[in-house]
Amino acid sequence: MQRYQSYIQGQWVEGKGVETILYNAINGDVIGETSSDGFDYEAILEYGRKTGGPALRKMTFQERGRMLKALALHLLTKKDRYYEVSAWTGATRIDSWIDIEGGIGNLFANASLRRQFPDLPYYVDGTAAPLSREGTFIGHHIMVPKRGVAVHINAFNFPIWGMLEKIAVNLMAGVPAVVKPSEYTCYLTEVMVRDIIASNILPEGSLQLICGLGRGVIDHVISEDVVTFTGSAHTGKVLKGLPRILEESVPFNLEADSLNAMILGEYATPDTEEFGIFVKEVTKEITVKAGQKCTAVRRILVPDHLVGDVQDAISARLAKTTIGDPRQEGVRMGALATRTQVERVRENVELLAKNQEIIFGDPDNFEIVGGDKEKGAFFPPILFYNDDPHTKTDVHHVEAFGPVATILPYKSPNDAIELSRMGKGSLVSSIVTPSDEEARNYVVEAASMHGRILILNKDCAKESTGHGSTMPLLTHGGPGRAGGGEEMGGKRGVMHYLQRTAIQGHPTTISEITQQFQVGAAQPEANPHVFRKHFEELKVGETVFTHKHTVTDADIVNFANVSGDNFYAHMDATSLEGTIFEQRVAHGYFVLSKAAGLFVDPKKGPVLLNYGIDEARFTKPVYPGATIAVRFTVKEKIDQEKRSEDDIAKGIVKFLVDVYDETGETVALATILTMVKKIDQSA
């Protein structure tokens, strides 16, 4: 029999005995077995801290991002095998696509975040805080990788996505991971992890896998570790309350299943496109992954006078849903992950049926195509109707984690908001309406109880990713019942694994630490000119002090002629009464343009191009007769990878343009972005 192994401490190993027998959800055949009994979890966690951690922390954000991109590209070449194994979990091709390519998409998305981080192993957060009158003492914040491990305890429903969406973030932050997937579907996770380890793309120790029950993995966490849990709210709360978590103050991110609601707006009547969009989206949420999504719709809120129309439309679509072996032609909904899950869903359906009516579906009578109805893990779509959701409240507390949802009538927009909030916190809520005003009212009043809100109408439905799809650049999590946690969210997710530390000192010292020029820091004069230096030769802080230029009326007139900007403050001295200007003022963009003329060294050299200006500010009027000059300072350097063998090796250099007048006061500030050659590409 196939023994599914764990990858710990640099090797593939098996636990003692058999903890879990693994079954094919389609036909009940035994796939294999697994165990984690006997594992030394203290040693496993320490291996990640001592082996994976240092290797990842040596890498910059740019290098980690490129690592994730390489891993994503590699896994795409292996995806056919993942689809084959994913079918054993009962997943259709579409279900598997969400899990497999959605998970790999998380790697790509997090890899792209490298452009938002410095070319350092740590992150510089925000801007400097002035702490003294003369500017010799300032404060700042940096965020460094935690020197622990990320322990991820994942649910059974997304064996690949659940792992990749989490490790993409901690690896980008420079923190290693120990992944404990659900023992019931760990066989799919194990297949992918074998490919990851064999690729040698990740440093050794950055990823360890525990297949089995994993009992004891949390018992040895320390304060610099991070624990994440995805699954039931009950289990999550038990783990979050463990003495070790409390004693060590270990960050614990809980993402729990919730009673998500979708609302049909009052203006989405049956004659609108939005009505059809609503029906299609609800049906999809009931049947995709056989309803086994933490984001699936459980409560369908409908204006009371439209209940009949909605009931008929959803029932008609559900009736066309073919259930069975996902590998069979025409099958639209597969099985639940295990027979255990079937029994849990059945129990909760029976609880819900005590005070609300089943209006579509029968747990005991349904047809399947292919598979084994008795040994497989099939369960049909069930649609309830609750005629009094304010009194019959089980629907707001009991979740059947399968293809089960309930229609709830509401009397007014405020009633819909109140009903949505009665779930006591959800991962996601949606409203389908053609009215932007109705959407705004719902979002503003309901948002405090929902981690994400989707607004659907005919203008965005075609490209919408849907109610149940979480996106890597948006946060995933929710308040209350949903666990109070937060995952993904682009940079926000990465920062969960970084320690923010305030730093204080002289601007020159802070510049050295942050590798970003801070106002008030030393500005050694560049020799030769910075435009004569390659990327590697430039040092943060070195400065070109330019020649000076006295602004004239002719400058203002000529710039107006060239630019077409004849704004009165520049061209009509008789119109200045009641303004802040004392006389005709030079165009701000003239000041910047002239600054470029002063700081540019025109001969061909390592600078390839200037491709943008950030943070441009005009801080003081420049009148004819003023004399301006520029302090042109290397502000920050960011390495850039070559896109191909023929590409030029280069990096991004940000220069601070500080334009000042004869009094020494700054009149304009800007940051220009340039591409600069590296030495190995010089002529």
Task: Judge if 109 and 241 occupy the same domain.
Answer: yes
Domain boundary among 229, 256, 283: 256
The domain that holds 50 is classified in CATH as: 3.40.605.10
Give yes or no: residues 244 and 341 share one domain: no
In a domain, 350, yes or no: yes
Alpha-carbon dihedral sign for residues 561, 567, 573, 575: positive
* Spatial CA neighbour of 336 closest among 368, 311, 299: 368
Q: Quick check: is 197 in a domain?
A: yes
Judging by DSSP bridges, how do beta strands 177-180 and 207-209 pair with one another?
Answer: parallel
99 and 242 part of one domain: yes
pLDDT at 278: 96
Are residues 528 and 552 both part of a single domain?
yes
Could you give the angle at the alpha carbon of 368 between the alpha carbons of 367 and 369, nearest 5°? 135
Residue 14 and residue 98 share a domain: yes
Q: Is 497 a domain residue?
A: no
Task: Give pLDDT, residue 282.
Answer: 95
In a domain, 145, yes or no: yes
Task: Note down the domain range covering 96.
Answer: 3-256
Lookup: tokens for 613: 């200006």
Residues 223 and 269 in one domain: no
CB contact set of 611 (below 8 Å; sequence gap of 6+): 673, 674, 675
pLDDT of residue 156: 81
By annotation, the residues acting in catalysis are 255, 294
Q: Which residues of the chain have pLDDT under 50?
A: 682-683
* Residue 501 falls inside a structural domain: no
Q: Which of 471, 493, 510 is the last residue of a domain?
A: 471
In a domain, 114, yes or no: yes
Are 136 and 33 members of one domain?
A: yes
CATH number at residue 313: 3.40.309.10
Within a domain: residue 584?
A: yes
Predicted pLDDT at 482: 81
Q: Are residues 632 and 674 in the same domain?
A: yes
Is residue 198 located within the same domain as residue 78? yes
Task: Judge whether 517 lies within some domain.
Answer: no
In a shared domain, residues 445 and 529 = no
CA 220, 226, 231 angle in degrees (round to 5)? Answer: 95
- Cα separation values, 100 from 44, 71, 564, Å: 27, 13, 54
Residues paired with residue 290 on neighbouring β-strands, in sequence order: none
Is-contact 284 329, C-beta < 8 A? no
Nearest CA to 549 out of 630, 492, 489 is that of 630
Q: Are residues 12 and 141 in the same domain?
A: yes
Q: Mind listing the pLDDT tens digit for each residue in 556-585?
A: 999 999 999 999 889 888 888 888 888 999
Question: Domains in the chain: how many in total?
Answer: 3
pLDDT for the residue 259 = 92
Last residue of a domain, one of 403, 437, 471: 471
Same domain, 235 and 265: no
CATH assignment at residue 581: 3.10.129.10
Q: Is the link from the previous residue into 528 a cis peptide, with omega within 30 of 0?
A: yes
How many CA atoms within 13 Å lie on the side-chain side of 563? 17
Q: What is the pLDDT of residue 483?
A: 82
Q: What is the pLDDT of residue 647?
A: 85
